[in-house]
Amino acid sequence: MSKYFCELLISNKLILPEDREVYEYGFKEFQIIVFFTIIFLSIGFVKNYLLDALIFLFSFIVLRAYYPGIHSKSKVICCIWSNGIYYICYDIMLNSHMQKNMDICFILLPGIILLYLNFRKLKMKKSNVKKIKTGILILILIVIACVLAYKNGISIIFMNTYLALILATILHILNYWKGENGYETN
């Protein structure tokens, strides 16, 4: 399908033939992401968590777009792990009855870790603008989750924002321990 789209773009003179590889790769990646998103939302629909899954995807995708972390070697493994971790954690959160103050503490912990790792010294110079944008994004997610937890107790927006923060923190810590993305591990 990606080859077909590239041929169509080249024949309409929208892209240059020498740029074909880049566009084919982009279309292929887009198809994979759409396919895995459909799987994720389908599981959410079957489990009656469709709105919850949408909120989580929004929070997590935005966070991962600005924030690094460890990646699977295979996209299929990534899909399996992401779906498994999310739905298992979400089921646990739905069935637990945490206090509001504990919820807020649990939000602050991954948020503080993310902020610390975001502003840590890097070998490869990460632009200050990107660091600031990422820090602001993390703070916004923390504030939204805290306000919702305080006002409404456990709500779907709170739980999914919280899960996005937790998963991003775990992925980033694993990446940090591996010493990737330019982090100094000395």
Question: How would you label 106-139 residue by residue, b for 16+ Cβ within 10 Å and e otherwise?
Answer: bbeebbebbeebbeeeeeeebeeeeeeebeebbe
Count Cβ atoms below 10 Å from residue 164 Cβ, excluding itself: 24
Beta bridge partners of 122: 183
Greater confidence, 19 or 152? 19
Binning pLDDT at 50, 70 and 90, where does residue 88 land? confident
Asked if residues 36 and 75 have their Cβ atoms less than 8 Å apart, the reply is yes
Distance CA 92, CA 94 (A): 6
Q: What is the DSSP letter of 116?
A: H
Question: How would you label 12-24 residue by residue, b for 16+ Cβ within 10 Å and e otherwise?
Answer: eeeeeeeebeebb
Greater confidence, 124 or 130? 130
Beta bridge partners of 183: 122
Indicate whether 172 pLDDT > 70: no
pLDDT at residue 128, as a whole number: 58
CA-CA-CA-CA dihedral for 144, 87, 112, 135, to nearest 10:
-60
Reduced to 3 states, what is the DSSP secondary structure of residue 69? coil
Binning pLDDT at 50, 70 and 90, where does residue 122 land? very low
Count Cβ atoms below 10 Å from residue 182 Cβ, excluding itself: 12
